[in-house]
Structure 1
């Protein structure tokens, strides 16, 4: 029986792995940043119904994640456990993305049904791609330090994909659809769907799973191990709270710029080109995140993951809170704070995913069994439910504040936009800062676990 590889991964394989999250992140960003506004201001759904759709679909999708993870752990093929899903689901994934932003010429009731079904199909395809993809990282290397470096490439790909969507989505909608926003969104998503499928296939083609022990335990044993994995349970809670609070800001920014910010366009420096302010704002944040993500492995190696997480989350709280005090005309300060907030928050998600892989090693060390797909999918369960509840609460707050699409908003609605974009996500980030103090898998502990697992595999 082969043991998981401990040698350093080649840069080519790391880049290929990052291409997978480039694709996943493009579609995740459309859901986080544009779908809610598309539903309320273009498709014609109410904010309350949109929030309900988000909650229903994402909660169902979270359960699909767990089932997918259990199934992937038991998959055997010539391509490994996780890579076959990338091969077979890449094209359906891209097609579902395009159909999600299609507006059918149906009566109102059937339009609502189409929106719900297409959203559910999209998230089901996302589960069958993203769960095996995320689980794949643990099969590429058994070295915790190497996996932390791999997360840097993964999230560099993720934020690059997000950057592409953030910069190009709205200009492409305008370019391809003109005044017809429904057609513009659909044609844009056809293009993004093609790019998405290509990135997933690259991740399949140029990565290689190192052989892991055959998974023979029952699903009941898997779940029992999961519920006794204290580090994972803590990370699960932190992920849920962080995604819940992050969703407030991501969903509301389009509304914030449409109805609060005074300037709708900016002049790009050097090239003196007029560009919509919101895509430029997104790009500022994502470029700042990219810098911090690329620095994360080196900073984590120097300070340790836990200390870096604590510092990053606390500084994120302060920079988010400052947004509440900005006036509609203070566009330069908005861009400055976006860059600062993004730089400080950038390491949080890569560190969480690196810690999740440590929790997988901890489970194998303690119980003698490894259920990578289940632990990763259950981690995504936290993210999806945080996204679901955050979306529901955000859109319900918007509805309660009296939001009316394509109209001048009341002072109460404007105040709600300011709160949702700043103080509410700051509160959630402060909560995860305190929770991380209880995390115990530091570098010293993981080095002992790594050595023990290596000795065990050699003797096995």
Structure 2
């Protein structure tokens, strides 16, 4: 039997394909979460690097991916592998990502210059491998089905698995670091998270071997021309712009969780509790967001989720008081909004790419997803850098391997960096999303086809 199946199109996918495709979210969720959660504290509190410089170290590799991802999309667009256009990239990119991730935290801690250089080089290697995993992985969703509703169902499973990955790795990674003293805790954590990344890539690769390919045509030549197409696509600009602002906001909160736990609330379990309080609600409400989107539309769902997301961030300023229960409630609201803010844009992107394919007759899905994934990583690079800048402005004191008190100005900076400032970005994103018009037309079109 052939390793992959080609079809002219499909109205629905089997539950097995939906679930195994979504398992790739284990890989992307782990790499998107753990460095954002622990790398900045590793640099400031383990290696003793100043907050501003540490923010730059976190920024550079992911900013690199902003330029690398369209290239990865372009290369996978041109693939003619008998194993499937995207699937080999998902496997080998995922395995390379796992190795690079373990290496990030496996290097020396002294001298400081060597330790920082090790982190920078291995993080860049991991970011490059992530490009060649994530871009083909996202592109598969647009190529396996042509229908508006099926993309929502497919993305619902992906968001559920993504939330599981974030909950699993975001809760256990800090626990491993806290349970094993010193650099050994970070090294053990790196190996454990690398195993999760590898598992997700292998299951996704194997489970989609019989998935249909609804758009088998190759893309037209010219990378610069393709980039220009995305830049001039009004619907893509509004959707990607919204997602970029929210990625920055999300990564600011993520980068600050450990600082909130260590310096505002206290207690070795605080960071894990805050993470669980954020992600557990996301797992519960993802199916509800799916129903809401199918009934009211993806754009309306995205707007509603974004409002809840931003309100939760504002409420997180309560962490300044040191009250754990108030911070947990705020994190729960953030988690409810976050689930929708992942589901709906991921379901809308294939709509944008498919609309371009309909107009042009060319498959440029890999390029759209490359720009999308690059934008996501750029946002997740800018967010920690902004948060680090806020820490530096507040007078945060870095110390390698020691536990010292922080001035009140630094504590205020931590609270603002995880609440009011990211909430302002979410508010701006709502204004950008207003310009997205494709959803209404697609819903009307699908309703007309159903009536016929």
TM-score norm. by structure 1 comes to 0.90
Q: 1:127 to 1:216 in 2, by over 3 A?
A: closer
Distance in 1, matches of 2:78 and 2:447, equals 24
Alignment of 1:187-266 (within 5 A): 187-207=188-208, 208-219=211-222, 220-261=224-265, 263-264=266-267
Matched, 1:35 2:39: yes
Q: What are the superposed Cα offsets for residues 380-413 of structure 1, whole Å, 9 maximum, x if unpaired? A: 1221222222222211221121111332111111
Q: What are the superposed Cα offsets for residues 161-208 of structure 1, whole Å, 9 maximum, x if unpaired? A: 111112211222234x3x2x2111111211221222121111001112
The structure 2 residue matched to 1:445, chosen from 435, 439, 442, is 442
Aligned twin of 2:416: 419
Query: What displacement does 1:366 show?
Result: 2.0
Distance in 2, matches of 1:341 and 1:59, equals 25
Which ranges of structure 1 fall in alignment gaps of 5 or more residues?
Answer: 266-275, 453-460
CA contact (8 A) 2:18 2:157 kept: yes
Matched, 1:397 2:398: no
Query: What displacement does 1:319 show?
Result: 2.5
Q: What are the superposed Cα offsets for residues 267-287 of structure 1, whole Å, 9 maximum, x if unpaired? A: xxxxxxxxx121021011101
Alignment of 1:70-219 (within 5 A): 70-104=74-108, 106-175=110-179, 177=180, 179=181, 181-207=182-208, 208-219=211-222
Distance in 1, matches of 2:73 and 2:443, equals 24
Query: What displacement does 1:322 show?
Result: 2.1
Aligned twin of 1:58: 62
Aligned twin of 2:306: 313
Moved over 6 A (4+): 449-452
Aligned twin of 2:331: 338
Aligned residues: 438
Q: 1:87 to 1:418 in 2, by over 3 A?
A: closer
RMSD, aligned CA: 2.0
Distance in 1, matches of 2:256 and 2:109, equals 28
TM-score norm. by structure 2 comes to 0.92
Distance in 1, matches of 2:318 and 2:42, equals 28
Distance in 2, matches of 1:114 and 1:140, equals 39
SS in structure 1 of the partner of residue 23 of structure 2: helix
Q: 1:216 to 1:345 in 2, by over 3 A?
A: closer
Query: What displacement does 1:321 show?
Result: 1.3
Which ranges of structure 2 fall in alignment gaps of 5 or more residues?
Answer: none
Tell me which moved more, 93-102 or 221-230: 221-230
SS in structure 1 of the partner of residue 411 of structure 2: helix
SS in structure 1 of the partner of residue 215 of structure 2: coil
Distance in 1, matches of 2:447 and 2:88, equals 28
Q: 1:301 to 1:277 in 2, by over 3 A?
A: same
Query: What displacement does 1:2 show?
Result: 5.8
Distance in 1, matches of 2:252 and 2:30, equals 19
Q: 1:344 to 1:198 in 2, by over 3 A?
A: closer
Matched, 1:323 2:316: yes
